[in-house]
Every structure is written in structure tokens, then in C-alpha cells.
Amino acid sequence: MSATRLTLEVPAWPSARSKRCSTLSRRRSAPNRRPPVSRYRCHRRQCPDCGAITLAPLPDEHAHQFGPQLTALVAYLTVVCRMPRLVVQRFLEGALQIPISLGSTQNAWEETSAAVASP
């Protein structure tokens, strides 16, 4: 194409690493996935007529402390992998950056156990 007909020139650069090195780099490092963390702020309101205070409810799908996947993961690690709850707690915090109390791991396990037990 002649230079006089050229209306737009778009520079294209290869990535800094070769295809081989970028593939090796991806294999070496674990994916940096951070789980989504949501916070619901349930506000209170005072009734102007009687003064009673009402707390906004959580949506039904968030009535439990943790989501279904994290709850299932805790149950899997505890029951199938037979990991002690303290190890589960440290794994979640260290590897997945999910702070969780020891009691919460117990609650997640009990929640899953109750769900599996009911027909």
C-alpha cells in the first residue's frame, strides 16, 4: 500500500516475554484469584409513630455467614481431607486470604452436615 493512501498507522508491539517464557511463567505461579467478599450494612430505622426500631434483614441468599462454595470447601477439607479445623482456618487465611474464626469453620461444617443429613 502506498504511503499516500495511509490514513491510520497503529503500532503493534510483541509482549516483553517470548511466548515460551510467558507460558513457563504462567505455569510456575499460582493464579492470583481473590475471592469476592461482600459486606451488607443492615441499617436500623425508628418508626415515627411508636418509636420501635427495625433492623433491615439480610437477603435470604446471604442469611448464612459464608457463601455455599466456601461452606462446602470447609466441609470438604474437614470431612473428606480430615484436616483439623485449626489447619483449615490457617489454610483459608494463608492460601486464600479468607480470614475465618475457628468457630466459623465449625459452624460451616455443622451447616453442611445438617444439609446433607436432611432428605
The minimum distance between CB 60 and Zn ion, in angstroms, equals: 24
**9 lines the binding site for Zn ion (CB under 5 A):** no
47 near Zn ion, rule: CB under 5 A? yes
- Choices 40-48, 72-80, 85-93, 100-108; region in contact with Zn ion by CB under 5 A: 40-48
Report in angstroms how near the CB of residue 46 gets to Zn ion at its nearest. 9
Compute the distance between CA of residue 97 and CA of residue 100 in angstroms, rounded to an integer.
9
> What residues contact 24, with CB distance under 8 A and at least 6 apart?
none
Q: Is 50 in the site for Zn ion (CB under 5 A)?
A: yes
| Angstrom distance (rounded) from CA 84 to CA 87 | 5
Interface with Zn ion, residue 44, by CB under 5 A: no
Burial class (CB in 10 A: 0-12, 13-18, 19+), 114: exposed
Task: Please give the residue ranges that form the binding site for Zn ion (CB under 5 A).
Answer: 47, 49-50, 52
